[in-house]
Amino acid sequence: MTIFANRDDAGRQLAEAVAAQVPKHPGPVPLVLALPRGGVPVAVRVAARIGAELDVVIVRKIGEPGRPEVGAGAIAEDGPPVFDRGFGPEDFAEAVAAARAEVGRRTRAYRGDRPAPDPTGREVVVVDDGLATGVTARAAIAWLRGRHPARVVFAAPVCAPGIPLDADTTICLSEPAGFRAVGQFYEAFGQLTDADVEQALHGFAHT
164 within domain boundaries: yes
Could you give the percent of the chain with pLDDT greater than 70? 96
Predicted pLDDT at 1: 72
CA-to-CA distance for 182 and 202, rounded, in angstroms? 26
Predicted pLDDT at 111: 87
80 within domain boundaries: no
Q: What is the mean pLDDT of the chain?
A: 91
pLDDT digits (tens, 9 = 90+) for 137-194: 999 999 999 999 999 999 999 999 999 999 999 999 999 998 999 999 999 999 999 9
Q: Comparing C-alpha atoms, which of 17, 18, 193 is closest to residue 106?
A: 193
State mean pLDDT over 28-46.
96
Q: How many domains does the chain have?
A: 1
pLDDT digits (tens, 9 = 90+) for 70-81: 778 999 998 888
Q: Are 59 and 76 in contact (CB under 8 A)?
A: yes
Predicted pLDDT at 84: 80
CATH number, domain of 157, equals 3.40.50.2020
195 within domain boundaries: yes
148 within domain boundaries: yes
Predicted pLDDT at 116: 86
Predicted pLDDT at 127: 98
13 within domain boundaries: yes
Rg (CA), the chain: 16
Predicted pLDDT at 89: 67
CA-to-CA distance for 47 and 128, rounded, in angstroms? 13
Q: Determine the 3-state secondary structure of 39 from DSSP.
A: helix
Q: Is 102's pLDDT higher than 80?
A: yes
What single string gives the DSSP state of each residue in 64-105? ETTEEEEEEEEEETTS--EESTT--GGG-HHHHHHHHHHHHH
CA-to-CA distance for 171 and 178, rounded, in angstroms? 19
pLDDT band at 67 (very low <50, low <70, confident <90, very high): confident
199 within domain boundaries: yes
70 within domain boundaries: no
Q: Is 88's pLDDT higher than 70?
A: no
Q: Is 66's pLDDT higher than 80?
A: no
CA-to-CA distance for 111 and 201, rounded, in angstroms? 9
35 within domain boundaries: yes
CA-to-CA distance for 53 and 205, rounded, in angstroms? 8
pTM (two decimals): 0.93
Range of the domain at 53: 7-57+117-205
CA-to-CA distance for 4 and 19, rounded, in angstroms? 19
Q: Which residues contact 181 (CB under 8 A, 6 or more apart)?
A: 132
